[in-house]
């Protein structure tokens, strides 16, 4: 199982769903009694669900460290997405966010979600191949595209699942009601947050790229190509820091997420 740190999740989820919750409308959150958020991580989606629904929200994850952070927002239960620790028909909505992209068999997980839901199953999944970057540092967009491409080629699961989650719902025997798109836009501009400064330092040292080195080298990328990418990456990071010192650095990143909602067939 791929592991995620608390700081990675809070960094990448910052502001998510704060600007618009329109894409969550098909979940009919205002009518729900019991909701399960599978692969809840630090509970970034769980707390949105709890704010929008009068019902009870429970977070479930296989990582106990992340669950202890989610516990601050909703009650949590440790469990595996493929064998949920709940009897049949416990919830009227089972939802996940950025979980299916990390699983070897998304359809099997969706079928398990359907087992414990009486009504809806929903997945909020990004298309990481369609991320768009606009930066005041010219090289940043191209280098991030190269790094993302190498990561996608090396990772064993479909991290660009996005709207194709619909096919996994079909394979699990669920009728898809709707798919909606939500663009999670993150902007870096002066005055810079502590998180933005930390990200810039991780670029200049190459630490961020190094975290994904093994995954990238599992694909067609060679060691020499990785070293070449890392050299250009660090140079780009130093330019980012220089621009930040002059308060000239600006960056916008848009990650498309797709909300797929399916109805559990009546037995
Ligand atoms: C990218 S994170 C997403 C976390 C959270 N849903 C969010 O969007 O902030 C993926 C999460 O799925 C969890 N996970 C991965 N495989 C799992 C499995 N088989 N069963 C339960 N949780 C799993 C990880 O521990 C991690 O918390």
In a domain, 210, yes or no: no
pLDDT in tens, 40-89: 999 999 999 999 999 999 999 999 999 999 999 999 999 999 999 999 99
Q: Which domain, by its residues, includes 85?
A: 6-129+157-187+254-263
In order of 127, 197, 227, 267, the CA distances from 224 in angstroms are 28, 29, 5, 56
**Number of domains, the chain:** 1
Distance 235 CA to ligand 1 centre (A): 33
Residue 220's pLDDT is what? 97
In a domain, 144, yes or no: no
Count, residues in the chain: 267
pTM for this model (two decimals): 0.95
- Taking the C-alpha atoms of residue 129 and residue 117, their distance in angstroms, rounded to an integer, is 31
Residues 6+ apart with CB under 8 A from 263: 119, 120, 174, 175, 177
In a domain, 15, yes or no: yes
CATH code, 181: 3.40.50.150
Residue 10's pLDDT is what? 84
Distance 125 CA to ligand 1 centre (A): 12
In a domain, 208, yes or no: no
Distance 103 CA to ligand 1 centre (A): 9
Q: Does the Cβ of 84 fall within 6 Å of ligand 1?
A: no
Residue 2's pLDDT is what? 77
Low-confidence ranges of the chain (pLDDT < 50): none
Q: Does the Cβ of 76 fall within 6 Å of ligand 1?
A: no
């Amino acid at each position: 199982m791929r592991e995620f740190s608390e700081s990675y999740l809070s960094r990448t989820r910052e502001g998510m769903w704060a600007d618009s919750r329109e894409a969550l409308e098909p979940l009919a959150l205002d009518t729900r009694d019991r909701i399960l958020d599978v692969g809840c991580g630090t509970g970034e989606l769980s707390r949105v669900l709890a704010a929008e629904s009068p019902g009870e929200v429970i977070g479930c994850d296989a990582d106990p460290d992340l669950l202890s952070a989610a516990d601050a927002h909703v009650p949590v239960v440790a469990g595996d997405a493929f064998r949920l620790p709940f009897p049949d028909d416990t919830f009227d909505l089972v939802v996940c966010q950025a979980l299916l992209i990390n699983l070897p068999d998304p359809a099997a997980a969706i079928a398990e979600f359907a087992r414990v839901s009486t009504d809806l199953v929903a997945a909020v999944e990004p298309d990481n191949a369609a991320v768009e970057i606009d930066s005041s540092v010219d090289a940043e967009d191209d280098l991030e595209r190269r790094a993302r491409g190498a990561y996608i080629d090396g990772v064993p699961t479909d991290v660009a699942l996005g709207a194709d989650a619909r096919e996994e719902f079909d394979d699990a025997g669920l009728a898809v009601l709707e798919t909606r798109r939500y663009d999670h836009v993150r902007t870096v501009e002066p005055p810079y947050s502590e998180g933005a400064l930390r990200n810039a330092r991780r670029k200049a040292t190459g630490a961020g790229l190094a975290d994904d080195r093994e995954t990238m080298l599992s694909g067609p990328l060679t060691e020499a190509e990785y070293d070449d990418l890392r050299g250009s990456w660090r140079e780009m990071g130093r330019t980012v820091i220089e621009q930040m010192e002059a308060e000239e650095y600006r960056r916008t990143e848009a990650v498309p997420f797709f909300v797929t909602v399916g109805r559990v067939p009546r037995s």
